[in-house]
């Protein structure tokens, strides 16, 4: 079992401990809801089961078998990126490449493809990278207590990331951005 698979299983086990419901019981709740869209299922689990965003998201992925691993099955990383940066979002690939060129200098990490973004992990996820619009790439940082900065958008407690940084141009991959990523990288493991 890869460290990513192990982390997912640990996350699901912790959700079961918190809720007292097994994944199979959660699957029944999801299927009986009559809802088919991921975001709507996640919102329903947050509302009705008291799950955080990340926990509800993990349950929906597990029940629907819609995690990035299955989406990326039998595809090269280049093919995965072609899918994420397709159509109107293709212009954001240059920002992504500038960012990844710098992140790769930090050391070893795993890349877990998701439907519309990449999760970068060590012992835990340290950042998420994905195009949000044709003109913007968002970086989700998993690090607590960064000093306030104009570009850092703090996220509500329980969100998948603690901070979001919006990039629109490769020139924004600067020393400040890389320092935040380095803190997150070191904290993850």
**What average pLDDT does the chain have?**
88
By residue range, what is the domain housing residue 48? 3-66
- 91 and 61 assigned to the same domain: no
Total structural domains within the chain? 2
Has residue 157 got a pLDDT over 90? no
Query: Which of these three, 38, 66, 94, is where a domain ends?
Result: 66
Same structural domain for residues 85 and 106?
A: yes
- Do 121 and 34 have their domain in common? no
Name which of 68, 77, 65, 80 is nearest 30 in CA terms.
65
What are the C-alpha distances in Å from 90 to residues 61, 71, 73, 74, 174? Answer: 26, 19, 22, 22, 22
Residues 53, 108: one domain?
Answer: no
The model's pTM is 0.68
Decide if pLDDT at 8 tops 80. no
Same domain assignment for residues 97 and 27? no
Give the count of alpha carbons within 13 A of 184, CB side only. Answer: 26
What are 9-28's pLDDT values in tens digits? 888 888 999 999 998 999 99
- The answer to the question of residue 173 being in a domain is yes
66, 95, 116: which is the final residue of a domain? 66
Instruction: Choose between 27 and 3: higher pLDDT.
Output: 27
Task: Evaluate whether residue 109 is within a structural domain.
Answer: yes
Is the model more confident about 106 or about 160? Answer: 106
- Looking at the predicted structure, is the pLDDT value of residue 138 above 70? yes
Identify whether residues 95 and 135 lie together within a single domain. Answer: yes
- For residue 136, the model assigns a pLDDT of 96
pLDDT for residue 39? 87
Domain identity same for 109 and 141? yes
Reported as a pLDDT band with limits 50, 70 and 90, residue 57 is confident
CB 140, CB 163: distance < 8 Å: yes
Closest by Cα among 185, 184, 151 to 167:
151
% of the chain residues with pLDDT over 90: 59
The count of other CB atoms within 10 Å of the CB of residue 17 is 8
SS (H, E, C) the chain: CCHHHHHHHHHHHHHHHHHCCCHHHHHHHHHHHCCCCHHHHHHHHHHHHCCCHHHHHHHHHHHHCCCHHHHCCCCCHHHHHHHHCCHHHHHHHHHHHHHHHHHHHHCCCEEEECCCCEEEECCCEEEEEEEEECCEEEEEECCCCCCCCCCCEECCCCCCCCEEEEECCHHHCCHHHHHHHHHHHHHCC
116 and 55 fall within a common domain? no
CATH number for the domain including 148?
3.90.1150
pLDDT digits 0-9 by tens, 71-105: 666 778 888 888 889 999 999 999 999 999 999 99
């Amino acid at each position: 079992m890869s460290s990513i698979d192990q982390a997912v299983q640990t996350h699901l086990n912790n959700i079961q401990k918190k809720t007292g419901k097994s994944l199979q019981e959660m699957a029944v709740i999801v299927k009986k809801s009559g809802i088919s869209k991921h975001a709507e299922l996640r919102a329903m689990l947050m509302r009705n089961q008291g799950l955080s965003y990340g926990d509800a998201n993990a349950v929906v992925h597990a029940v629907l078998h819609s995690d990035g691993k299955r989406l990326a099955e039998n595809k090269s990383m280049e093919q995965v990126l072609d899918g994420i940066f397709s159509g109107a979002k293709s212009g954001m690939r240059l920002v992504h490449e500038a960012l990844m060129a710098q992140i790769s200098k930090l050391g070893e990490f795993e890349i877990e493809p998701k439907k519309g973004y990449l999760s970068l992990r060590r012992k835990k996820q340290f950042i998420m990278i994905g195009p949000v619009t044709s003109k913007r790439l968002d970086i989700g940082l998993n690090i607590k207590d960064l000093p306030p900065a104009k570009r850092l958008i703090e996220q509500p407690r329980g969100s998948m990331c603690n901070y979001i940084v919006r990039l629109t141009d490769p020139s924004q991959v600067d020393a400040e951005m890389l320092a935040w990523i380095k803190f997150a990288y070191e904290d993850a493991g």
